[in-house]
Amino acid sequence: MSIKKMDIVGRKSYRCDILFRVIDIREQGNTKIAVLYGEDFRLIADAPFDDLVPINPSERAKKSQQFRSMEEQSLQLFRQDLHLLKEKREFETTEGYKKPNNYFHMPGRVLHLDGDPLYLKKCLTLYETIGIPVTGIHCNEKEMAHKIGGLIESYRPDILVVTGHDAYSKSKGEKTDINAYRHSKDFVLTVKEARKRVPSLDQLVIFAGACQSHFESLIHAGANFASSPSRVNIHALDPVYIVAKISFTPFMETINVWDVLRNTLTGEKGLGGIETRGILRTGMPLNKE
């Protein structure tokens, strides 16, 4: 079978339910093994070559269109929420529209660490569409904990995203055992290192995790929001929708966790969190020159 790196494939044993990118090819004895990254989900998997099926361009386009429709619907719902938040801020800032609309807003600054450069690019495009100031850095999951301290010092973010790829392997242990996960331990160590620099849950809001990640360990390590409570796959763009809600909620307001999750593509099975203050600050006067 002529499958090479970066080809798009499906797994016969899973009825090709998820599209994968081949990112590495290895030999295990006489068996050829492909290391796979999900195209739309933050999932990493290994599969023997005889379980792989190349996905032709037309089939790939059809599946991709289904996800693009979901993404557009989620973005539309978020824009509606953003419009309502903006109207509420204008009413409160102008004391019921009695004062001039002469103010400006400062949304939260985001530092987004991603183990996948293609996902990072997709996320940065969405951040830009929504209007969130962001610095995106591609970093291997196993290197994140070593680099996060210096990155926080350099960029001083209000919100930190630590994500990439992950997966739970039943053959390695129970779901309660963090050693049974591909990168959950790396994410946990990164969150702990970040909390050494900024202990307050409100001064630095952290989202951490990827597909099937060990949710409880990430929250206990100091993340405000994390994946994946039910150990399901999360969409590549889900972290952005969580960050956007935090970034545009005023710092005097507490964010209801359900309000954050309801417009994501995965929902409460794949994402969860704790009560957190918003980040947005309002200032005046606005220089309109």
**Region 54-73 average pLDDT:** 78
Rounded Cα gap, residues 211 and 19, in angstroms: 14
Q: Which of 47, 40, 53 is nearest to 12 (CA)?
A: 53
Considering Cα of 187, then 192, then 196, then 199, what sign does the dihedral take? Answer: positive
pLDDT of residue 9: 92
pTM of the predicted model as reported, rounded to 2 decimal places: 0.85
b/e burial code for range 172-203 (CB count within 10 A of at least 16 → b): eeeeeebebbbbbbbbbbbbebbbeebeebee
- Beta bridge partner(s), residue 150: none
Confidence of residue 152 (pLDDT cuts 50, 70, 90): very high
> Distances from the Cα of 148 to the Cαs of 33, 39, 107, 138, 196, in angstroms?
32, 26, 22, 12, 10
Task: Looking at mean pLDDT, say which of 58-72, 140-154, 226-240, 253-267 comes out highest.
Answer: 140-154
Rounded Cα gap, residues 27 and 50, in angstroms: 13
> Distances from the Cα of 115 to the Cαs of 5, 110, 185, 245, in angstroms?
17, 16, 14, 23
Rounded Cα gap, residues 44 and 14, in angstroms: 14
Pairing of strands 134-138, 110-114: parallel
The pLDDT of residue 192 is above 70: yes
pLDDT of residue 288: 63
Rounded Cα gap, residues 176 and 4, in angstroms: 35
Q: Which of 66, 107, 81 is nearest to 262 (CA)?
A: 81
